Chain A
Amino acid sequence: MIELSLNEVETTVVKAACGRGLDHGVATEIGTAARWLCEAGHDGIEAAVEALAAVDGDGGELGLAAVDLALASEEPVLVSDYVSRTLLAGLAGRVGLVSVDVDDGVELRRPAELAVSPAQVATVASPPCWSELQDWAAQTYVPSSEQSRVAGAGAGLTDND
């Protein structure tokens, strides 16, 4: 177990989401939601892993579209299909919406009063599933080759002067 900074959580989740094939814009939403959850004392890393493990395709099952819809309308929006209840709370919570469990699923609403910002925490302990995120993130890295090493960064090999 290591202590992670919140920025590490966010950037790793974004990369992992890209590694799972999601658009960068969608990945950014998941990254900021995971960070927001961690700041609020919830397990944002597990939520991200739970959601990304279930993603199959373009991420439509995350509930992000419902959050967009709720932001664009005054009415509550019902979400009946989602892959991670906690991540859905994060996606909604970080933009000031509340998510409430109802009979048919989860309702996203504007809060009656302004939500309190989550407390600042400096670090979070890495849970066992952290390595899964890292593995997905690593799927965005290009294996090195001699051509890449020499030309890709455009630098001289030594600077001994």
Chain B
Amino acid sequence: MSGEAPSADLVCGVGQLYPQAELRPPEVVMRLERMGSFFPSRLSFMRSLLRDLATANATVERGVFDVDDDGFGRAVYTVRVHDHSYSLCAFSNALEPEQRTDRVIAEAWDSSFVLYDGVPSTLELDRLNDAAPRQEAARYRPTDIVLSRANRSVRLFEHVVERLAAGHQPDADTIGSIGYLMRTTAVYGNGKFGIADRALVQDRPILGGAFRAEMLAVWLIRAFTHDLVEHVAHRRSPATAVGLDSELKRHLGIGNSTGLGMAPFLVSHPELLNNWMLARETALARVRAVRSATAHHAQRFRSLIERAQKHAAQWNVEDDRQQSRIVQLRLELGELQEVAAACMNDDDPWDRLVNACSNWSAECEELVVSALLETYPELVDGLAGCMVAGESRRIDPAMTAGELRETIETQWAWAVSTDFDAPENCRRFWYTSEEKLEPRLGDRFTEEGAELERPLDIARRVCALHAELLGRSAGDPVATLCKELPQHRFAIQRVQTLLRHPYAEIRDNLIAEDLLPIDMLRCKLSFFGAAKFDPKSDRWTRVTLFQGAPLIDELGATGTSAADFDDWWLPVL
């Protein structure tokens, strides 16, 4: 079995198509502090989705818009691409203010949505109209690919309606600071509540990549919110109302409240995490191998950093930790142009720049990584196709206990040297609450339920496995270990997976007292393409999705180049 395992070097022909510098090692990249400093990039799923839709000449049409004066009713938006149609079915209902919570434990929402495979008949639309507002309490069919819901940003929605109805545009600063008319609070895919398994769409164009269907649904939800706000304004004052200015509209994305539910995903999908990271690191390594910067690329990088400076200036949050990081980032971006200018006139300009950045904060370093990727679409974009993973590999039963032990001692030294009996190293436990199955984090020493903890304590498990191996014969095959010590099977699998997938594991203790789950959330959300991270606690964040992204009627619009269509990294107003 071990002989069949692909080496990480072979993934997507890394090292064969383009020259590349050395990859940053997992010991550096897979630390939570760094992962929690990631920014979206052109490899992010929202970006590659819209690029692929444009390349495929996809079109979007609004087939149904049956909405009353107050904005309640239903609408259908259909994307046609290749031989498929996908329809966002949107249902908007009245919601009492006290029912409006972003948490998973909510039971009612302003709007609910299904991304449907094909174009729904009236009968199907009625079925979804009955089910979608009930979300998890209803059942769905394999024609239903994504299930989601959203709440209005009461402040901004009303402001925009009021201004448009009066014949004025909304205040740009208010739009800039909030950034969305609605926040999604869950976007479900992959078979939940009877919806389509990912296996049913993963071989199709456009939807094949990770979270593609979910991102498509959110992009269409954004279009619905734009139409909805204009519709309500028009109905309020037909004689005076105006439509939203396109630039302001483009700056209205979709908000998202993200809690702990996202964090376990990164741990339970190690091969996928590896492939996301490897694609990003490979992209960086390709750019670092560029021998000299052309005038075009040098100018492009400078202008992107100017944009990043404006973006950072417009990014303000209440969270003290994040705000102080933003302030630091602004200072460092001020110095960056000068340092970059010096590097650009030399050989290996970007490699020099990345090395020079190591004195700055992780936040600034990772912003530079995203900016460098943005500068070289020709080296980067093809890697977007590598950010998927197949079924998890099974354990390799032929490996010996000695090989397993050696692997742990070389790759997991940080875990093995941790004292997991010390309270500060094991205080947290991850669990699923019986209350709507909300994922939560508890304190082992003050709360009930630690015996039911979810297996996110990877380092502790590997440490325990290592202790067991010390007393075993080195020649024992893993098959024998698994028979005699089945309680270590999961840990064995993780150790073997890391051997083949070097970026598969977060190299931090996920049950430590000082763990900040927010870092895991930001990492994952940056791969989605989210920006403006706005932590509400150490385990909950708001973000904005698709802010600055093209509008549905800009797909295939004449006069816009592919590069301009795709140019919405870190949007500024």
Contact = CB atoms under 8 A, between A and B. Distances in A.
Asked whether A and B interact, the reply is: yes
A161 interface: yes
Interface residues of A, number: 49
Contacts of B102: 155, 159
A154 B197 contact: no
B197 A122 contact: yes
Interface string B417-451: 00000000000000111110111111000011100
A159 B183 contact: yes
Contacts, number: 185
B209 interface: no
Interface string B466-492: 000000000001110011001111111
Contacts of B449: 142-143, 148
Interface stretch (B39-47, B306-314, B392-400): B392-400
A120 to B, nearest CB: 7
Given A26-B489, A142-B449, A153 B434 contact: no
Contact of A158 (B98, B141, B433): B98
Given A72-B397, A141-B432, A156-B536, A7 B257 contact: no
B489 A25 contact: yes
B97 A8 contact: no
Contact of B100 (A140, A147, A160): A160
Contacts of B433: 141-144, 148-149, 152
Interface in A1-43: 2-8, 22-26, 28-29, 32
Of the listed residues B452, B478, B538, the one surrounded by the most CB atoms of chain A closer than 10 A to its CB is B452
B438 A25 contact: no
Interface stretch (B188-196, B339-347, B361-369, B556-564): B188-196
A54 to B, nearest CB: 15
B397 A68 contact: yes
Contacts of B486: 22-23, 25-26, 58-60, 64-65
B1 interface: yes
A6 B191 contact: yes
Nearest to A155: B540
A152 B539 CA distance: 9
Of the listed residues B100, B196, B489, B536, the one surrounded by the most CB atoms of chain A closer than 10 A to its CB is B489
21 contacts: A4-B194, A7-B191, A22-B486, A23-B488, A24-B489, A25-B395, A26-B486, A69-B479, A95-B394, A120-B200, A140-B452, A141-B452, A144-B435, A148-B433, A148-B449, A152-B440, A153-B539, A154-B539, A154-B540, A155-B102, A155-B259
